[in-house]
């Protein structure tokens, strides 16, 4: 079981991801606001962050940059409905382990979460 932070500005997406992860008995902390997610990581241990790239105030890449300052070992999976090579490259350069394209495929997300959590 892992502590997983989920950040997406769309509540339905957060709920879907939370349902998928809870089936695998993970502890899920969900957020729709960037600042709240960043503040949470300052005070709580998180094994994995699942971040939407297109958010309201910041990009998911910017959030990942902030999370890495707080915890350089945090693992991340980036989500996007607008995939581009540039975003993928930047996310991976900052240390994201995986990249998922929306709409979210339950099996793909479960597989990527298991892969990222099992890697060191």
pLDDT of 43 strictly over 90:
yes
What whole-number distance in Å separates Cα of residue 89 and Cα of residue 9? 22
Instruction: Give phi and psi for 16, each to the nearest 5.
Output: -60, -50
Query: At 106, which CATH number?
Result: 3.40.50.2300
Lookup: tokens for 113: 């979460």
Whole-number pLDDT of residue 8: 97
Q: What is the pLDDT of residue 45?
A: 95
Rounded Cα gap, residues 102 and 83, in angstroms:
9
Over residues 51-95, the pLDDT tens digits come to: 999 999 999 999 999 999 999 999 999 998 877 888 888 888 888
Contact 75, 2 (CB under 8 A): no
User: Which domain, by its residues, includes 8?
Assistant: 3-118
Cα(84)–Cα(60) distance, integer angstroms = 14
Give the total number of structural domains in the chain.
1
């Amino acid at each position: 079981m892992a502590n997983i932070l989920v950040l997406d500005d769309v509540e339905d997406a957060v709920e879907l991801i939370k349902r998928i992860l809870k089936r695998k008995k993970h502890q899920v902390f969900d957020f729709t606001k960037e600042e709240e997610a960043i503040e949470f990581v300052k005070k709580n241990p998180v094994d994995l962050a699942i971040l939407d790239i297109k958010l309201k105030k910041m990009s998911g890449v910017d959030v990942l940059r902030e999370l890495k300052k707080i915890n350089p070992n945090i693992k991340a999976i980036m989500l996007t409905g607008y995939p581009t090579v540039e975003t993928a490259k930047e996310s991976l350069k900052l240390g994201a382990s995986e990249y998922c394209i929306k709409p979210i495929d339950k099996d793909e997300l479960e597989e990527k979460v298991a892969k990222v959590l099992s890697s060191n």
